[in-house]
Amino acid sequence: MAKVILFGEHSVVYGHPAVAVPLHNLHMTATVRPAAVVTAPSTLNCLDWHGPLDAAPAQLASVVEAVKVATGFAGHPDTGLHVTTQADFPPERGLGSSAAAAGAVIQAVLDAYGVPASPQQLFDLTQEAERIAHGHPSGLDALTTASLAPVYFRDGAGTALDMNLTAWIVIADSGAQGSTRETVGDVRRGYETSPEQVGALLDQLGAIAEGAAEDLRTGDVSALGEKMNDAHRLLAELGVSDDRLDAMTGAARDAGAVGAKLTGGGRGGCIIALARTGDDAARIAGSLTDAGASGTWIYAPHLEKAAP
Ligand code: MEV
């Protein structure tokens, strides 16, 4: 399923904490069918690509790697498979499409061969696929897209996040693709060039995420909103926002959001905005559509909790 990072994107790569939630109504599914001839080349049907797995575009690298690591784990490397993925949410928008697709494909391959795996093994395999495809992922996406509950993540490991928030989170898609690989690489280069300056921004983002975990526990909507605004400003200073994301967070605040920030890798992708009521959330979502958002979703953590 999709995920949304509430706080801590980018700084999480440097060992700071992050908080993220799975979006249970935005699904990613994968089906795997062994080819009639075992030695036949594998095929992939994913997003706009229908063709040989080996020739899939770079954008689908995590799915390609997921097939490789899962068939290796299952003891059937180099076996012909027909792999199909289906998603309710767009790729390259900071919603975890790459990790969600890798995780779903790995599970489907293991199911096809009747090979069991523990949640830790599934996480490790997803991380392996993501690492080959994307460089140095923190593991936050791999964990949250496979999680049933909100996640507090730090140093490669997650714990359940105690969340008692009565508020609505509007997610709005800028419609522009973002490349996490690119923004993570740019932050890395910035950090190598100016460790003190960039390190200070990452420290502040980490401190905000740590404080936000406590606000989520106590349900302090005003404090969370303020932290969202601060985090967005710092992410912009880090160089991972863009005009569209700045305009959308501004439009959300003008429409009454308590706070707003970009979410995920940035420079394209989505923003999130915090609302006190369902009516506020609907109005903010409408304003974001007017401001050019290509899609909006509303997530209410307290209502998710009540769901079976
Ligand atoms: C991407 O969804 C989140 C980043 O923090 C990268 C990562 O955690 O690997 C930008």
Domain map (residue ranges) of the chain = 28-144, 164-306
Provide the token pair at 72. 């290796």
CA atoms of 197 and 188, how far apart (whole Å): 12
**Residue 138 · residue 156 · CB < 8 Å:** yes
Catalytic residue ranges? 141
- Residue among 11, 141, 187, 270 whose CB has most ligand 1 atoms within 8 A, to mutate: 141
Q: What pLDDT is attached to residue 78?
A: 84
Ligand 1 mean position to 291 CA, how many Å? 26
User: DSSP character for 267?
Assistant: S
Which of 3, 6, 7, 12 should be mutated for ligand 1, with most atoms under 8 A from CB? 12
Q: Which of 97, 126, 140 to mutate to test the pocket of ligand 1 (most atoms within 8 A of CB)?
A: 140
CA of 94 to the centre of ligand 1 (A): 8
Q: What's domain 164-306's architecture?
A: 2-Layer Sandwich (3.30)
The mean pLDDT value for 14-32 works out to 96
Residue 65's SS3 state is helix
Ligand 1 atom with least separation from CA of 3: 2
Mean pLDDT within 182-192: 96
Cα-to-centroid distance, 243 and ligand 1 (Å): 20
Q: Whose CA is nearest to atom 9 of ligand 1?
A: 137
pLDDT in tens, 116-154: 999 999 999 999 999 987 778 999 999 999 999 999 999
pLDDT tens per residue, range 64-84: 999 999 999 999 998 999 999
Residues with CB under 6 A from ligand 1: 5, 9-10, 12-13, 94, 137-138, 140-141, 180, 184, 264-265
Provide the 8-state DSSP code for 41: P
Tell me, yes or no, if the two domains 28-144 and 164-306 fold the same way. no
* Mean pLDDT on 206-211: 98
| Cα distance between the two ends of the chain | 17
Which residue, by CA, sits nearest to atom 2 of ligand 1? Answer: 264
Mean pLDDT on 231-238: 98
pLDDT at 217: 97
Nearest to 171 by CA among 127, 126, 228, 221: 228
Q: Which CATH number is 28-144 given?
A: 3.30.230.10
The length of the chain, given as a count of residues: 308
Distance of alpha carbon 112 from the chain centroid: 26
| Residue among 10, 123, 187 whose CB has most ligand 1 atoms within 8 A, to mutate | 10
Q: Is the distance from CB of 168 to CB of 298 less than 8 angstroms? A: yes
Q: Is the pLDDT of residue 308 over 60?
A: no
**Ligand 1 centroid, distance to 232 Cα (angstroms):** 15
15 within 8 A of 62, measured Cβ to Cβ:
no
Nearest residue to 1 via CA among 150, 116, 136: 150
Atom of ligand 1 nearest to the CA of 11: 5
Q: Residue 89 — very low, low, confident or very high, per pLDDT cuts 50/70/90?
A: very high
Q: Which atom of ligand 1 is nearest to the CA of 99?
A: 2
Query: pLDDT value at position 147?
Result: 95
Q: How far is the CA of 165 from the centre of ligand 1 (A)?
A: 24
CA of 142 relative to ligand 1 center, distance in Å: 10
User: 279-297, pLDDT tens digit by residue?
Assistant: 999 999 999 999 999 999 9
Q: What is the distance in A from the centroid of ligand 1 to the CA of 12?
A: 7
